[in-house]
Amino acid sequence: MALYSDIVMDHFRNPRNVGVIENADGVGEVGNAKCGDIMKIYLKIDGDTITDAKFETFGCGSAIASSSMATEMIKGQPVAQALQLTNKAVVEALDGLPAHKIHCSVLAEEAIKLALKDYYDRHGIAYDKQQFPSCENCGHCHTH
Ligand code: FES
């Protein structure tokens, strides 16, 4: 069996939503201390809906495929639903990742959560801090 699924290869070779959103409503940047890869997600949010999502990923192919798939999955979704996106769902949508590449999909989940937290913070929207447990003391996140 090939190491990477056809879907992973497709999203790696033709990533969707690469780029920057000027005047984004929320931006989240995370890095993995071990591999040194960095992922940045930009969100445009209108009302309660994510109308656009883009990413810049300086990292491995699995991180690029994960950010491509994850941004596709949250576009058009309500904010509350995007908050529920797990790295597991991203891996499933990619038709799997090798075990040693699962952490790459975690970056996508964390970057999206951080961008949503940024959106809440910027707009003064109250939220339950428990929704962002990995943001507490993890030291992964860079501020932009
Ligand atoms: Fe670091 Fe993939 S090896 S994100």
- Domains observed in the chain: 6-123 (3.90.1010.10)
Q: Would you give per-residue pLDDT tens digits along the chain (144 residues)? A: 689 999 999 999 999 999 999 999 999 999 998 899 999 999 999 999 999 999 999 999 999 999 999 999 999 999 999 999 999 999 999 999 999 999 999 999 999 999 999 999 999 999 888 888 665 555 555 443
* Centroid of ligand 1 to alpha carbon of 123 (angstroms): 32
Residue to probe by mutation, ligand 1, list 39, 40, 103, most atoms within 8 Å of CB: 103
Task: Indicate which residues carry an active-site annotation.
Answer: 35, 104
Q: Which residues contact 32 (CB under 8 A, 6 or more apart)?
A: 38, 59, 103, 104, 106, 107, 140
How many Cβ atoms sit within 10 Å of the Cβ of residue 7? Answer: 15
* Centroid of ligand 1 to alpha carbon of 108 (angstroms): 11
Q: Tell me the whole-structure pTM to 2 decimals.
A: 0.91
* Cβ–Cβ < 8 Å for 42, 14: no
* Cβ–Cβ < 8 Å for 8, 94: yes
**Ligand 1 site residues, Cβ closer than 6 angstroms:** 32, 35, 37, 59-60, 62-63, 101, 104, 107
* Centroid of ligand 1 to alpha carbon of 46 (angstroms): 31
* Cβ–Cβ < 8 Å for 12, 61: yes
